[in-house]
Amino acid sequence: MRRTLTSLALISSLTLALTACNDEAPKVEKKESAKTVEKTKPAQDMTPTEALDNMKRDAQAVANKATSLAKSAEEATQNALSDLTNMIASGDATRGAKVFKKCKSCHTVDAGGKNKVGPNLFGIVGRVPGTYEGFKYSKSMQGYGAPWREDTIADYVANPTAFLKEVTESKSAKSKMTFKLKDKQSRLDVAAYLTTLK
């Protein structure tokens, strides 16, 4: 009998203690919520619509982060490819001076040098095509107004007429230069050499 009474007293005490804890719990939550603002309600207090909205928002945040990471990865890949391309496809001016010997029958490269079958090429990089004084250019060359760059020179010497047709968007465009330098590395080397003539 004593054991039963002791057990009942113990159960009663525990029940009172748990009730007191439950009564105190909201006060603790209120104090904590005053310290930190919660962005969302606890899951048990949400309506299904609110829960769905929260899941959509979280999914959108994950999607945005994934898109951002994908863009960063793509930019890094493009930069790496560009660096690799530049390393592979760069010209060597010393080799270009040797290759240019093929061009000396038509061009001079001295400052103020005379024109031959083709114009003097000293200072060609940065010069507008068709403007070297004393040389009579084709109308197509005179119509191409973008200054020469190292890459455009390399493209031009591959096939001068095809180059002019493309950049002027004219099927009838024609260059006086008939020589074509087929080897890509040789073109890059010649362009690098011409860049040094300033």
84 and 101 together in one domain: no
Identify the CATH number of the domain in which residue 139 sits: 1.10.760.10
Low-confidence residues of the chain: pLDDT under 50:
1-18, 20-21, 24-38, 84, 87-88
Confidence (pLDDT) at 2: 43
Range of the domain at 76: 61-90
Q: How far apart are CA 164 and CA 160, in angstroms?
A: 6
User: Which pLDDT does position 173 carry in this prediction?
Assistant: 93
Residue 73 CA to residue 119 CA, distance in Å, equals: 47
Domain count, the chain: 2
pLDDT tens digits for range 2-31: 444 344 444 444 444 445 445 544 444 444
pTM: 0.56
Claim to verify: residue 83 and residue 98 sit in the same structural domain: no
Examine the domain organization and report whether 186 and 104 are in the same domain.
Answer: yes
Q: Are residues 86 and 141 in the same domain?
A: no
CA-closest candidate to residue 118, choices 141, 85, 95: 141
| One-letter amino acid for residue 26 of the chain | P
Tokens of 21: 């804890």
Amino acid, res. 7: S
165 and 145 within one domain:
yes
Query: Which pLDDT does position 9 carry in this prediction?
Result: 43
User: At residue 148, what is the residue type?
Assistant: W
Residues 158, 73 share a domain = no
